[in-house]
């Protein structure tokens, strides 16, 4: 892929359309044909039904294919492919259901490849890989921009569940249409049609007919077939737990080096980085890149090389008393694996405020993306925390909020935040820093309406009518599920390599004559990378670096 994908807005419309719908040369088509088969198509023949689980890839050599989105009794035309053009978008790589329908609108001939054949093609032919991957990514971006999905969300901006569902689909790069109960006059008609009451919101209409009332992320993933191609029984070379920057980097390197890799992710690819509006210090992106864009690219890259990623399911247990290890998923299937990479990162520390959970998603947020920013346009907001993520959130929110208050316990930002962010905060008249200040109470009915903060030196308490608080303070490692399988430090971060003392290894019964590799835990063949690791640097670049380094040690362990 070239960097033109990174900034599609900079492409002229014509160039962008050419990249989205390229015409292949006869020589390129002959190379594709070597991986599949040529066959005739008849006018009107449905080549891919919308919602189909098995989705082939077609190159038109003669005739024409129409791509459309069925909508009730009608069809909305999305694209037309003539000779030299090909069907498909990013979903073919992930093995998810088809979002659109493909039908021959003129008799002719196509080259047909199944998913496996297409994967082999993109992994072995770099020129065609670039053309096809770029077209797939741009087509998905276009489907998202036009809401050409198979999902309709009926919800309200004042409802925490609606924000969660929108966030889940957005962070998984799945297009959807949104009907706002509070503003859309036709919504009652839609609700009546599917016999749901407003109390059921958010309601998700999946693939046109399945109605889910306030669904969990897993229910949504199942309905949309996010995980259908996963085989839980197959022995893996490596299971990666967590699809943040560390886990995705490990997956890309493992899969590209021929390892059989499965990634398990509780929510959506990207981890903490996915909730960042703009990462400005990641090498190679001088104008910054949103966490969402970085995660989407890395996820696609991992899938291109053949990594499988389970979405909306968690690793709940590691069986560590025998090898091969098994990783239990949501207290259900156990995946056998020769090695494990723990890349479960960290979560924000939640302050001990009594009714905090009541307002989560309804005034209390743990990420500051475009979606949350839209909810507080023109309003006052509070950002709690003094690290880089808090600084970034404050600067980002200051573009649309009326006023941004940053609350920090300490006396200043110098010890915890990068200098470039401190300067932006100091120079921004919309942002006000409150040192030695802690949030003390939250009030409201269904949504946060007001709050109080307290000066921890003077004890003075101030009450403010503020409806939005962003928590970006401190991290606790996501290691509870490991249940003592590996040695951790006193804060629960996993110890690796030289940080493990002889005594700790003796207590953990380290069985080998060699010491643990760099990033290897107290269990042979089990590694930890990124923010979850004791001594981890808490940066995207270091998480990516550690994720990729582990793979060279995985190879060594597999040879042992
Ligand atoms: C808002 C924000 C802005 C930031 N900005 C920057 C920046 O500009 N530059 C920079 O360098 N760093 C930045 N950071 C820090 C950076 O994002 C993190 O250091 C990095 O994401 C750590 O990557 P990771 O893969 O180790 O962990 P994480 O990103 O925390 O990812 C861990 C993943 O594991 C999943 N998971 C957890 N438990 C389980 C389980 N049991 N089963 C399955 N999956 C599980 C989680 O859902 C998550 O997706 C920012 C962080 C935030 C929150």
Evaluate: CB of 361 within 6 angstroms of ligand 1. Answer: no
Whole-model pTM? 0.86
Among candidates 52, 140, 132, 40, which has minimal Cα distance to 86?
132
Count other Cβ atoms within 10 Å, centred on residue 300.
Answer: 21
Tokens of 437: 């200040």
As given in the structure block, the two tokens for residue 559 are 């040879």
Distance CA 150, CA 375 (A): 25
Rounded-to-integer distance, Cα 389 and Cα 291, Å: 12
| 391 in contact with ligand 1, CB cutoff 6 A | no
Q: In sequence order, what are the beta bridge partners of 279? A: 289
How many CA atoms, within 13 angstroms, populate the side-chain half-sphere of residue 79? 22
What is residue 289's three-state secondary structure? strand
Instruction: Quote the ligand 1 centre to 242 CA distance (angstroms).
Output: 9
Q: Are 255 and 300 in contact, with CB atoms under 8 Å apart? A: no
Inter-axis angle of helices 126-145 and 291-304, nearest 10: 140
Q: In ligand 1, which atom is closest to the CA atom of 530?
A: 26
Distance of CA 480 from the midpoint of ligand 1 (Å): 16
Ligand 1 pocket residue status of 32, Cβ below 6 Å? no
Which ligand 1 atom lies nearest to the CA of residue 541?
A: 11
Q: How buried is 435 (Cβ within 10 angstroms: 0-12 exposed, 13-18 middle, 19+ buried)?
A: middle
Show pLDDT as tens, one digit a residue, over the chain (560 residues). Answer: 334 444 445 557 788 888 999 999 999 999 999 999 999 999 999 999 988 889 999 999 999 999 998 877 788 898 999 999 999 998 888 888 888 899 999 999 999 999 999 999 999 999 999 999 999 989 988 888 887 778 889 888 878 899 899 999 999 989 998 888 877 767 777 777 777 777 788 999 887 778 899 999 999 999 998 998 888 999 999 999 999 999 999 999 999 999 999 999 999 999 999 888 888 889 999 999 999 999 999 999 999 999 999 999 999 999 999 999 999 999 789 999 999 999 999 988 788 888 888 898 889 998 888 888 989 999 999 999 998 889 999 999 999 999 999 999 999 999 889 899 999 999 999 999 999 999 999 999 889 999 999 999 999 999 999 999 999 876 889 999 999 999 999 989 999 999 999 999 999 999 999 999 999 999 999 999 999 999 888 889 999 999 999 999 999 999 98
Indicate the helix (H) or strand (E) that contains 294.
Answer: helix 291-304
Give 22-72 as a DSSP string.
----HHHHHHHHTTSEEEEE-TT-EEE-TT-SS--EEEEEEEEEEEEEEET
Strand ranges (DSSP E) for 176-297? 177-180, 203-206, 210-213, 236-241, 261-265
> Can you give the C-alpha Rg of the chain in angstroms?
25
């Amino acid at each position: 892929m070239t960097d033109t994908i990174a900034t599609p807005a900079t492409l002229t419309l014509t160039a962008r359309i050419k990249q989205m719908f390229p015409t292949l040369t006869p020589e390129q088509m002959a190379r594709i044909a070597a991986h599949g088969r040529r066959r005739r198509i008849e006018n009107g023949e449905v080549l891919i039904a919308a919602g189909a689980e098995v989705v082939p890839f077609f190159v038109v050599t003669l005739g024409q294919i129409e791509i459309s989105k069925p909508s009730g009794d009608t069809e909305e035309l999305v694209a037309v492919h003539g000779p030299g053009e090909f069907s498909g978008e990013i979903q073919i790589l992930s093995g998810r259901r088809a979002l659109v329908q493909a039908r021959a609108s003129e008799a002719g001939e196509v080259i047909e490849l199944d998913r496996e054949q297409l994967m082999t093609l993109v992994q072995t032919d770099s020129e065609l890989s670039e053309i096809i991957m770029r077209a797939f990514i741009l087509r998905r971006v276009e489907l998202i921009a036009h809401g050409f999905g198979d999902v309709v969300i009926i919800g309200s901006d004042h409802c925490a569940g609606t924000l969660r569902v929108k966030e889940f689909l957005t962070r998984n790069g799945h297009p959807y249409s949104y009907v706002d109960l509070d503003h859309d006059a036709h919504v009652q008609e839609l609700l009546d049609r599917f016999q749901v009451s407003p109390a059921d919101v958010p309601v998700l209409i999946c693939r046109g007919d399945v109605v889910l009332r306030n669904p969990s992320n897993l229910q949504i993933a199942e309905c949309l077939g996010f995980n259908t191609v996963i085989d839980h029984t197959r022995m893996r070379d490596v299971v990666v737990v967590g699809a943040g920057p560390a886990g995705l980097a490990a997956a890309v390197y493992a899969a590209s080096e021929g390892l059989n890799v499965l990634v398990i992710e509780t929510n959506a690819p990207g981890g903490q980085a996915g909730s960042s509006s703009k990462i400005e210090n990641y090498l190679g992106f001088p104008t910054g890149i949103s966490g969402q864009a970085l995660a989407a690219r890395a996820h696609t890259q991992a899938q291109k090389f053949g990594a499988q990623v389970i979405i909306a399911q968690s690793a709940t247990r590691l069986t560590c008393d025998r090898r091969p290890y098994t990783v239990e998923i949501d207290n259900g299937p156990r995946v056998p694996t020769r090695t494990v990479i723990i890349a479960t990162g960290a979560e924000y520390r939640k302050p001990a405020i009594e009714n905090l959970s009541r307002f989560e998603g309804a005034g209390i947020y743990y990420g500051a993306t475009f979606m949350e920013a839209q909810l507080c346009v023109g309003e006052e907001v509070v950002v709690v925390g003094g690290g880089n993520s808090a600084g970034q959130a404050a600067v980002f929110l200051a573009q649309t909020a009326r006023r941004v208050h940053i609350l920090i316990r300490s006396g200043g930002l110098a010890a915890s935040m990068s200098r470039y962010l401190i300067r932006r905060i100091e120079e921004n008249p919309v942002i006000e820093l409150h040192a030695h200040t802690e949030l003390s109470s939250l009030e409201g009915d269904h949504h946060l309406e007001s709050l109080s903060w307290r000066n921890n030196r003077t004890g003075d308490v101030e009450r403010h009518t503020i409806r939005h608080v962003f928590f970006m303070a401190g991290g606790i490692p996501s290691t509870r599920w490991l249940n003592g399988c590996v040695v951790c430090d006193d804060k629960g971060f996993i110890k690796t390599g030289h940080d493990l003392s002889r005594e700790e290894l003796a207590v953990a019964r380290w069985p080998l004559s060699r010491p643990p590799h760099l990033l290897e835990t107290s269990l042979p063949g089990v590694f930890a990378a990124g923010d979850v690791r004791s001594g981890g640097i808490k940066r995207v670049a270091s998480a990516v670096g550690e994720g990729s380094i582990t793979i060279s040690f995985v190879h060594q362990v597999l040879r042992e």
